[in-house]
Structure 1
Amino acid sequence: MVTVQESYSYCEEVIKIHSKTFYKAFSFLPEEKRRAVWAVYSFCRTVDDIVDEGERPLEELAIFKVQFQQFLKGEIPASEPMWIALQHVFQQFEMDEQAFLDMIKGQEMDLYKTHYVTIEELEYYSYHVASTVGLMLLPILAPEHKDVLREGAISLGIGMQFTNVLRDVREDLDRGRVYLPLSVMAEHGYTEDDLKKEVVDNRFIAAWESIALRAEVFYAKFNETLEHYPIDARMPVQLAAIYYREILNKIRKQKYKVFSSRAFVSSEEKGDLLKKIAVK
C-alpha cells in the first residue's frame, strides 16, 4: 500500500521534472500547502499527458473521467499515488470540484479543435486549461478569500496560457495545432502558410505582440488582487506570475525566434527576480 507521504513525494517529482517554474515558485509555501499544490499539479499533468502523449487519448481520457467521478465518490485506485495524494488534499481543503471538471473539458478540446479563429475563442480555451488551475489552488492558497481572488486567478491563468501559446508555436505546429488566432494573424497580413514556413518578420512580430500585450493586461488584472492573498502564499503566487511573464521578455530579447528555440527563464534569472521582490 502506497502511503500518503510517498504519494506526495511522487507528485513532487512530477512537478520538479515537468515545471521548474512552478516548482521553484511554490517551494516557498508552508509544507501543507506546498504538497497540496504538488498533488493538484500531478492531476493536471496526468490529464495533459493523456491528451498529448497517449496512444489512444480518446479512450484513455474517457477512462480518466470515470476514475475522477469515482474519486469524487470516495473510491480510488489503492496503488496510484496521484489519487491518494489528491484524496488527502480534498480531505484537508474545501476544493472546487467544478474547476477540475472544467480542466478536463479544456484538455478534451485539444482532441477535436486544432485552430482558433478569434482571441475570444483562445480566452475560452485558456480559461479551461489554465485558469482552472488557479481556481483549484485558491482553496489551498487563500481559503478565506476565494471569492475576492477568483477573477484575478482567472486572469492570471489566461495570461499564462497566452504566454504558453506565444512560446510553444513550433511545438504546437508539430502536433497539428495553431493556437495563434487566425483573425489576429490576418489583421497583420500574416497567414497560416507563413506560420508553417516559420516566417518571422514584422507581420509575425505585430501579431505576436498584440497577443502578448493582451496577456500583460491579464497579468496586470491579477496583480490588482495580490494583496488579498495571505502572507504565506503571496510571494509564491507573485513569483509564478513574474517568472511566467518574464518568458515574454525573453522571447523579445531572442528576436522572436520561437521556431528555433524554446524560451525559458534560467535559475540565475529567477534568483535575480526573487531578489527584486525581496527588496520591495
Structure 2
Amino acid sequence: MNAELEKAHDHVRRIVEKSGTSFGLGMKILPEDGRRAMYGVYAFCREIDDIADEPGTEQAKRDGLDKWRKEVERLYQGQPEDLTMVALLPAVEAYDLPKQEFIELIDGMVMDVDLDFGRAERLDHSGLHLYCRRVAGAVGMLSIRIFGEPDATQFALAMGDALQLTNILRDIGEDADEGRIYLPIDMIRAEGITATDPKEIVRDPRLTAVCDRIAEEADARFRDAEEQSRRHDRRKLKPALVMGSIYRGYLDKLLARGFADPTATVKMSKAAKATRALRAMMG
C-alpha cells in the first residue's frame, strides 16, 4: 500500500472513531478490506452531512456540496484528490460501487439546505420517503455491495427507511431546536396543526398522532427488512443486521415512552447496544 493510500485510510478511520457512531459496531465485524471500504463510505457521509448541519450561509453550503459532486466525478475518473475519496478508490473498483448512490447522498444534503433556508416546502409524506431513500437508502445500496450481497436491494431500502425514520423520531426535539422538522407537513396539517415554527409544532399535543403513524411505518420497515434478509445470505448481511438491532432497540424505547412529549430524550447505554449487537451477530 502506498503512503498516500495509507494516509487516506487513517483519515477515514479517525473520522469514524471521532464520531462515536453506533455504526462502528457493525463495521468492526467486517474483514479488513470491507471495513476500510465502509469507513470510506461513512467518512463521505459525515463530511457532506457536516456541510448541511454546521453553521454557514446558504451559498457556502451549496458551494461545499458542489465541491463534493466534483470530487465524486474525479473519483470515478480514477483521479481523486480529497483524502476521503482516495480511501474510497479501492472500494469503488473492488465492489463496483454505483456513482449515482453518492450523488443521491449529496442530493439528500441539498434537501436539508433547502429546508434550512426556506427554498422548499417542508417535507410532505412522499418527500420524507424520498429523503430517506437519498440519505439512508443510498448508504444501504453501497453497503450491500461491500458486504458481498449486491442483490439484496429490497433489504437495503427497507433497512434504510427503518433506520432513518427511527432516527427522525428520536431526534425530534434536537431537530426542532435547529429549525427543522422532518415529520410530514401534510400529516401535521391534517391533524389541524397550523403552526409554522418547528418548536411550536413539536409542543402541540396533536403531533402525537403523526409520530404514532411514522413509528408504525418504521416498525413495518424493520419487519420488511427482516423478511427480506431471509431471502439472502444473512451471514453477509450481519453488519446491517447489527445496526438494525440497535436501532430497533431505539424504536422499542420510543414506543414504550410514547409521543405525548416527542422531544423527550431516549438513550441507550453502550452495554445495551453491545448486547443487542451480540445477539444480532449470533442470530
TM-score by length of 2: 0.86
Which residue pairs with 2:86 in the alignment?
A: 84
1:31 to 2:32 alignment: yes
- 1:241 alignment partner AA: G
* 2:237 aligned counterpart, secondary structure: helix
1:235 to 2:238 alignment: yes
Q: 1:211 aligns with which of 210, 214, 217?
A: 214
Shift of 1:100: 0.9
Q: 1:65 aligns with which of 31, 47, 69?
A: 69
Shift of 1:117: 4.8
- Distance in 2 between residues matched to 1:104 and 1:279, nearest whole Å: 35
Shift of 1:191: 4.6
More deviation in 166-175 or 153-162? 166-175
Shift of 1:5: 3.1
- Distance in 2 between residues matched to 1:224 and 1:255, nearest whole Å: 26
- Distance in 2 between residues matched to 1:230 and 1:108, nearest whole Å: 35
Q: How does 1:1-280 map onto structure 2 within 5 Å?
A: 2-53=3-54, 55=56, 56-77=60-81, 80-113=82-115, 115-142=121-148, 145-147=149-151, 149-192=152-195, 196-197=199-200, 198-199=202-203, 201=205, 203-230=206-233, 232-256=235-259, 257-261=261-265, 263-277=266-280, 280=283
- 2:30 alignment partner AA: L
- Distance in 2 between residues matched to 1:229 and 1:41, nearest whole Å: 24
Equivalent pairs counted in the alignment come to 273
Deviations 1:193-227 (A, max 9, x none): 685234264x3322211101101111111111213
Question: Residues 40 and 86 of structure 1 are in contact (CA less than 8 Å); yes or no, is this contact kept in structure 2?
Answer: yes
Deviations 1:239-258 (A, max 9, x none): 11111122122233445444
CA change 1:194–1:134 in 2 (3 A) is same
- 1:74 alignment partner AA: G
Return 5+ residue gaps in structure 1 as ranges. none
More deviation in 131-140 or 189-198? 189-198
CA change 1:278–1:73 in 2 (3 A) is closer
RMSD between aligned alpha carbons?
A: 2.4
- 1:70 alignment partner AA: R
- Distance in 2 between residues matched to 1:242 and 1:192, nearest whole Å: 35
Question: Residues 116 and 122 of structure 1 are in contact (CA less than 8 Å); yes or no, is this contact kept in structure 2?
Answer: no
Return 5+ residue gaps in structure 2 as ranges. none
Question: Residues 30 and 232 of structure 1 are in contact (CA less than 8 Å); yes or no, is this contact kept in structure 2?
Answer: no
More deviation in 34-43 or 15-24? 15-24
More deviation in 80-89 or 39-48? 80-89
Shift of 1:279: 5.8
Deviations 1:143-190 (A, max 9, x none): xx423x112211111121111211111222233222111222233444
CA change 1:27–1:279 in 2 (3 A) is closer
TM-score by length of 1: 0.87
